[in-house]
Amino acid sequence: MKHKIKLILGSLRQYKRYAIITPIFMVFEALLESALPFVMSIFLDLAIKVNSFEDITTFYDHARIPFMVSLLVLIITMVVMAMLSLLSGILGGRYGAKASVGLATNLRSDIYKKIQSFSFANIDKFSTSSLVTRLTTDVSSVQMAFQMMIRIVVRAPLMMIFSAVMAFVAGGQVAWLFIGLIPILGIGLFFIVKFAMRIFTRVFKRYDALNQSVQENVTGIRVVKAYVREDFEKEKFNTASTNMSKDFIKAEKIVALNTPLMNTTIHISNIAVVSIAAYIIGKYSTTMVNEEGNIVVINNVLSIGQMSALLTYGIQILMNIMMISMIMVMLTMSLEAIRRIGEVLEEEPTIENPEFPLFEVIDGSVDFSGVNFRYKEDAEKDTLSNIDIHIKSGQFVGILGSTGSGKTSIINLISRLYDVSEGEVLVGGVNVKEYDLKTLRDNVSVVLQKNVLFSGTIADNLRWGDLNATEEEMRRALDIAQASEFVNQLKDGLNTHIEQGGANVSGGQKQRLCIARAILKHPKILILDDSTSAVDTKTDRLIRKGLKEDIPDVTKIVIAQRISSIEDADQIIVVDDGKINAIGTHEELLKNNAIYQEVYYTQNRVGGEQ
């Protein structure tokens, strides 16, 4: 945890000075704030004294003037104090905002960069939605906690200590009273927080579950209505909601003790201060008649002004204890966010550039020799075992196998999306681990199974393949991918805007755009992972023809469900249960391989595809 907090604070960078300066201003504000009543009490006592010169005739008496001057000086002092306090309040607020927002901004940027550096293995560890939460909600709660920390965490205890000191200055021994009250309030608050938090953590889980159920009802409303389960769902929800609400009430009842506890302590402190003050003032006061003939009360132990100052400081001390306890709760709640963010920042990318990387891939040959692979070190079973494949540059290779047989795992090793556990993968005759990652991946272009277009125009998306692609180059790629026709039919052609997730193009169109994007990279090896599943057979055939004729030198590796997509490949690899079952041409496999035969006959019976 300590390390995680350190990591997160490391993102402060250029905002560090704001983070340091903010508490200083806040402390300054606090000092002024609590000193003000003290000065006021001096002013009051003096004013009372002046008041006793009560007589119009003596108004111009010279004896009065020094008093008047000191009173004016006191007032000016107080005004200056208020102004300084205002200034530090504003500056503290300003720098506090800058520091905490700055931290959040840097943190988001750092997390984002970190995630970008992740390998596939790292990505698999975190779910997409959890990464999104960490980048958004969690960062916000760290921002809030941090702001609170620099603005109040330093301020509240200091304010308390300072008020206590001032109480001693103003009220002498009487101030011990507050010291006695602090632990009572502190312990009380501690128990309230402890018991309430225990229930709250439980309730919030229930709350999540409840919202989950609402979510299911909203997205699954057709199922609910189709099966006429409205009443069933209502009852389920009503019970869950009522149960949760009962728990909430339980917790809130405990929290409701907070204010009365606070009030009680303040009241006790008030009564005690007043009684003690009354006793002392009564006991040690003397009266005297001043020159003007008025009676003045003199008390050298405790004055009325001091009593009023004591009351104020008492409340301030206790209020700040309350603040501290609230801060503790908030900070505890942000610990979870800190932990989650720290987890991402601590994650080490499993694949990194070699120290002396190669920047050139000679040709598109691929060789697997004795490759074993598992996704996790401690996995019981290898995902791939004993893979030996040899693909010559420019060949067309098909891979076939059922879901989970390991097809995708094989091709992921080629562009080093994952590292092999044993054995080696060579591209252009060189182990992939020796290449510069960018060089390797630019030369090995993969069209992923779960492919994504990004919001932006079609041209923007295509330029992912080549930042400087001309329109002519893009058109050519679209031609090969058989996407020109539909792109030309769109009103804005290449400039058509693609919505988030590619929602406004159909599955087949999306696949073809993704293929075009991959072609634009001018790779030496092109891998299509089930990338034409939503494309009809005729277009599928045309794409293959285009690839063969227009980029003949590129090695093409195609994973497919349909035999028709790969039957004219130079070699077809049949994968079963993480092992190579057979390698051969269509004719050979049809003759010798049971799996291949089964798939072929099922598809030709049901699919009716020739």
CB of 490 to another protein, least distance (A): 15
Instruction: List b or e across 148-168, with b for residues whose CB sees 16 or more CB atoms inside 10 angstroms.
Output: bbbbbbbbbbbbbebbbebbb
The answer to whether 440 and 455 have CB atoms below 8 angstroms apart is no
CB of 389 to another protein, least distance (A): 20
Cβ nearer to another protein, comparing 500 with 552: 500
Cβ nearer to another protein, comparing 379 with 552: 379
Distances (CA, A) of 105 to 13, 108, 139: 11, 5, 9
Pick the stretch among 156-164, 168-176, 238-246, 369-377 that binds another protein (CB under 8 A). 238-246
The site for another protein, by CB under 8 A, has a size of 167
d(CA 523, CA 99) in angstroms, rounded, equals 46
d(CA 574, CA 414) in angstroms, rounded, equals 17
d(CA 236, CA 240) in angstroms, rounded, equals 6
Cβ nearer to another protein, comparing 239 with 422: 239
Instruction: List b or e across 344-363, with b for residues whose CB sees 16 or more CB atoms inside 10 angstroms.
Output: bbeeeeebeeeeeebeebeb
d(CA 110, CA 95) in angstroms, rounded, equals 22
CA-wise closest residue to 43 among 400, 338, 362, 306: 306
Check binding of 491 to another protein (CB under 8 A).
no
Check binding of 109 to another protein (CB under 8 A).
yes
Q: Residue 523 corresponds to which amino acid? A: P
Check binding of 120 to another protein (CB under 8 A).
yes
Check binding of 290 to another protein (CB under 8 A).
no
Check binding of 56 to another protein (CB under 8 A).
yes
d(CA 526, CA 519) in angstroms, rounded, equals 8
d(CA 594, CA 459) in angstroms, rounded, equals 45
**What tokens does 53 get?**
């010169």
> Which of residues 23, 188, 406, 508 is near another protein by CB under 8 A?
508
Check binding of 40 to another protein (CB under 8 A).
yes
Cβ nearer to another protein, comparing 372 with 533: 533
Q: Could you give the count of Cα atoms lying within 13 Å of 18 in the half-sphere of its Cβ?
A: 20
Residue located via tokens 């909601």: 241
Cβ nearer to another protein, comparing 132 with 187: 132
CB of 368 to another protein, least distance (A): 19
CB of 1 to another protein, least distance (A): 25
d(CA 558, CA 396) in angstroms, rounded, equals 8
Pick the stretch among 233-241, 372-380, 471-479, 571-579 that binds another protein (CB under 8 A). 233-241
> Which of residues 5, 121, 177, 224 is near another protein by CB under 8 A?
224
The phi and psi torsions of 433 (rounded to 5 degrees) equal -70, -15
* Per-residue binding letters, 246-275, with another protein (x by CB under 8 A): --xx--xx-xxxxxx--xx--x--xx--xx
The answer to whether 96 and 26 have CB atoms below 8 angstroms apart is yes
> Which of residues 209, 379, 503, 594 is near another protein by CB under 8 A?
209
> Which of residues 128, 468, 470, 489 is near another protein by CB under 8 A?
128
Give residues 131-170 in contact with another protein (rule: CB under 8 A): 131-132, 135-136, 147, 151
Cβ nearer to another protein, comparing 82 with 370: 82
Check binding of 489 to another protein (CB under 8 A).
no
CB of 287 to another protein, least distance (A): 6
Cβ nearer to another protein, comparing 330 with 386: 330
d(CA 320, CA 309) in angstroms, rounded, equals 17
Give residues 451-480 in contact with another protein (rule: CB under 8 A): 451-452, 454-455, 464-465, 467
Cβ nearer to another protein, comparing 259 with 592: 259
Instruction: List b or e across 41-64, with b for residues whose CB sees 16 or more CB atoms inside 10 angstroms.
Output: bbbbbbeeeeebbeeeeeeeeeee
**Sign of the C-alpha dihedral computed for residues 152, 157, 160 and 165 taken in this order:** negative
Give residues 513-552 in contact with another protein (rule: CB under 8 A): 517, 521, 530, 533-539
Q: Strand pairing of 444-447 and 525-529?
A: parallel
Sheet holding 525-529, edge to edge: 444-447, 525-529, 555-559, 396-400, 571-576, 579-584
Give residues 13-32 in contact with another protein (rule: CB under 8 A): 29
> Which of residues 108, 340, 524, 544 is near another protein by CB under 8 A?
108
Check binding of 85 to another protein (CB under 8 A).
yes
d(CA 108, CA 100) in angstroms, rounded, equals 12
Q: In sequence order, which ranges of 423-463 are alpha helices (DSSP H)?
A: 437-443, 458-462
CB of 443 to another protein, least distance (A): 10
> Which of residues 123, 179, 187, 594 is near another protein by CB under 8 A?
123
Cβ nearer to another protein, comparing 385 with 511: 511
Give the contacts of 171 (CB within 8 A, at least 6 positions apart).
Answer: 273, 302, 306, 307, 309, 310, 313
Cβ nearer to another protein, comparing 211 with 495: 211
Check binding of 4 to another protein (CB under 8 A).
no
Check binding of 195 to another protein (CB under 8 A).
no
φ/ψ bin of 591: left (φ > 0), alpha (ψ from -120 to 50), beta (otherwise)? alpha
> Which of residues 73, 297, 362, 594 is near another protein by CB under 8 A?
297
CB of 495 to another protein, least distance (A): 19
- Residues present in the chain in total: 610
Distances (CA, A) of 219 to 128, 224, 405, 471, 507: 20, 10, 33, 41, 22
CB of 294 to another protein, least distance (A): 7
Check binding of 71 to another protein (CB under 8 A).
yes
Check binding of 306 to another protein (CB under 8 A).
no
Check binding of 300 to another protein (CB under 8 A).
no
Cβ nearer to another protein, comparing 47 with 358: 47
Check binding of 226 to another protein (CB under 8 A).
yes
DSSP annotation of 571 reads: E
* Per-residue binding letters, 322-351, with another protein (x by CB under 8 A): ------------------------------
